[in-house]
Structure 1
């Protein structure tokens, strides 16, 4: 059995220990120590990382009361010095301790139960067995959670057996065989837990709920605690300051300024689309007047494929075969609205790869794209000659 020093002192950074076994499994090197400061993955909390005698510890897990340290290097049995990546450890302690506060207050306020908890590298998720979780509920929850932090009350941990568990006022009730570890925060939360925690709530600093979404009939909450919340605020504050400068306003009038500019942009887009449609109609008239034998072939040097599609959509209502190409986008449009028995999609399927093109479509219309202009020109010429032979 490995002695778990992180339960005696969750702030432990270094310790001396002894490697009692080194294993190699599936290209992994695993070291077993008589005592360890490294928390193994479990209870929704990732494992610690750090070093054993300068060799990197990248993952830690527990099996059959032994704790295995997966390392990037060679280790031998004997005395060693262990050092924990404490910045990572303290971050996880802030997140896990914050999760207890949030879970406890959700239960007190709304009788919601935490059915799933995941401590990721960027944020926490919690699955609460109730839906919906409204904005008003989030506001109330955040206010009460941060009040609990400022009370700066201690986190208590202790071990009980199943008989003792019956006397514990835990929000989670279940039966266990053997001893179980309890984490309690006075008048806030009490439940079984195997993770590492802070000494007092004040060390969490702040908790911010980022968003809520529906998940399997429950509410999934995304949140950040402590330094993660501070960094998130810092980033968003910088974004807002940049937007304030762009819109020549402050954060209190920023949304209004963005809304006004969005309205102006939408009006300009509408005017631009109207103008493009007008120009497309004029181009259609020119193409029809110049058309010969019910087919229209044309390559455009500067017009985009989007503009060509607009022309094609207008012409597709008339009895023509069209081959229109955008040289700037290296794309081509093939439309058959005539009486000729030519399947545009079939032609593309059988021939476009010969010109290193990609694309396809249905009987009446197909479109393709090419890597370079010469390939576009080759397929364009092929289609034009094929249509002429069919006339």
Structure 2
């Protein structure tokens, strides 16, 4: 029997909407807490989906019940435990360096499925500082500092070294990164800083006047780096760049795209003006525009210009499978209610709107065409009751 496998007995069970919870005579599963997720694994070959501690009892979530008194073999998933231990230990190192060298306190911590994060007590932190922080963490990793975990009576705890004061009494679990951090912590950790591999900060975001740093460590950091390399390689191949020229090339492409978008908008405005001028030659109460190949923005622009002349404008855009209705507010027709009632009668599309304008989307062009024809027919015949 390995250190990750143990034999025990079911001592209690309960059920809720999530499934069946069981308590064990003894358990080596880590219950969620302190920002660290619960362990994964199996009990009697049943997957453990969650582990929670309530009033001193550790409960394990399974899909099916196990009778009280049943002898079971349990297995803690090694990969999950090790991953969580790496992310949690990385947090200790980040927190210690941020406080000792930058004077910045860590306010909260959490491990997610793909990454982990800490919220730090500062309103400003930039990528130059992050790069230096990563270098500082790398130094601690290369030094391969031992990590000691001790169960100490509160009288034995060196209160002067504690990262944060604790109000716990009795036996306290102390996690010490040698020469760097001394903390009361109930989470799981690796045996030395060298086992972190490397720590990579992936995102920086301002939250609640503070800063949240998202990071990955160990295998997560390897996966993140490989993913970034794959993306960068694709950019190199597409734009014929190198690491030294890629940033300038991307900015060049972005600026060119912005200029092209300006040109397209100017052309669309000219097209819209010409089409509206043609429509206004018609002495119709309802004017319909069908955009079979044009973009949704051009159709919308045309409909807005027609409506501004006092007509009721109906636009169908095939590309977006979207129907647009609009008038200038001088008509009594509540366009939103009218469109919704028509769609309800036809049993197709989803949409609605306000007194002056409305829109709907459809699952197919055929449905769009059917709805357009019915909307125009009802408007022209005055069948607009809601």
- Name the TM-score, length of structure 1 as normaliser: 0.84
Tell me which residue corresponds to 2:3.
Answer: 12
Tell me which residue corresponds to 1:39.
Answer: 30
Contact 1:31–1:75, Cα closer than 8 Å, also in 2: no
Contact 1:332–1:380, Cα closer than 8 Å, also in 2: no
Counterpart pick for 1:56 among 26, 39, 47: 47
RMSD: 2.9
Contact 1:29–1:70, Cα closer than 8 Å, also in 2: yes
Contact 1:297–1:384, Cα closer than 8 Å, also in 2: no
Q: Does 1:298 find its partner at 2:288?
A: yes
Tell me which residue corresponds to 2:379.
Answer: 383
Kindly tell me: are residues 60 and 340 of structure 1, through their superposed partners in 2, closer, same or farther at Cα, counting changes over 3 Å? closer
Tell me which residue corresponds to 1:3.
Answer: none
Greater shift, 96-105 or 303-312, is seen at: 303-312
Contact 1:31–1:71, Cα closer than 8 Å, also in 2: no
Superposition pairs of residues 1-391 of structure 1, within 5 angstroms = 12-15=3-6, 17-19=7-9, 21-26=11-16, 27-34=19-26, 36-73=27-64, 74=66, 77=69, 80-289=72-281, 291-292=282-283, 295-300=285-290, 302-304=292-294, 305-326=296-317, 329=320, 331-337=322-328, 341-345=332-336, 347-348=338-339, 351=342, 353-356=344-347, 358-369=350-361, 372=367, 373-386=369-382
Kindly tell me: are residues 250 and 69 of structure 1, through their superposed partners in 2, closer, same or farther at Cα, counting changes over 3 Å? same
Greater shift, 45-54 or 76-85, is seen at: 76-85
* SS at 2:113 equivalent: coil
Contact 1:31–1:70, Cα closer than 8 Å, also in 2: no
Q: Which has the larger radius of gyration?
A: 1
Distance in 1 of aligned mates of 2:120 and 2:329: 61
Q: Which runs of 5+ in 1 are unaligned?
A: 1-10
Distance in 2 of aligned mates of 1:152 and 1:244: 36
* SS at 2:345 equivalent: helix
Contact 2:10–2:72, Cα closer than 8 Å, also in 1: no
Report how far residue 215 of structure 1 moved.
2.5
Contact 1:157–1:181, Cα closer than 8 Å, also in 2: yes
Contact 2:285–2:380, Cα closer than 8 Å, also in 1: no
Kindly tell me: are residues 246 and 66 of structure 1, through their superposed partners in 2, closer, same or farther at Cα, counting changes over 3 Å? same
Report how far residue 78 of structure 1 moved.
5.9
* SS at 2:36 equivalent: coil
Report how far residue 209 of structure 1 moved.
1.2
Kindly tell me: are residues 88 and 370 of structure 1, through their superposed partners in 2, closer, same or farther at Cα, counting changes over 3 Å? closer
Kindly tell me: are residues 66 and 363 of structure 1, through their superposed partners in 2, closer, same or farther at Cα, counting changes over 3 Å? closer
Distance in 2 of aligned mates of 1:339 and 1:204: 69
Distance in 2 of aligned mates of 1:249 and 1:310: 39
Q: Which runs of 5+ in 2 are unaligned?
A: none
Tell me which residue corresponds to 1:8.
Answer: none
Contact 1:18–1:33, Cα closer than 8 Å, also in 2: yes
* SS at 1:125 equivalent: strand
Kindly tell me: are residues 212 and 336 of structure 1, through their superposed partners in 2, closer, same or farther at Cα, counting changes over 3 Å? closer
Contact 1:212–1:221, Cα closer than 8 Å, also in 2: yes
Equivalenced residue count is 374
Kindly tell me: are residues 83 and 343 of structure 1, through their superposed partners in 2, closer, same or farther at Cα, counting changes over 3 Å? closer
Distance in 1 of aligned mates of 2:211 and 2:256: 37
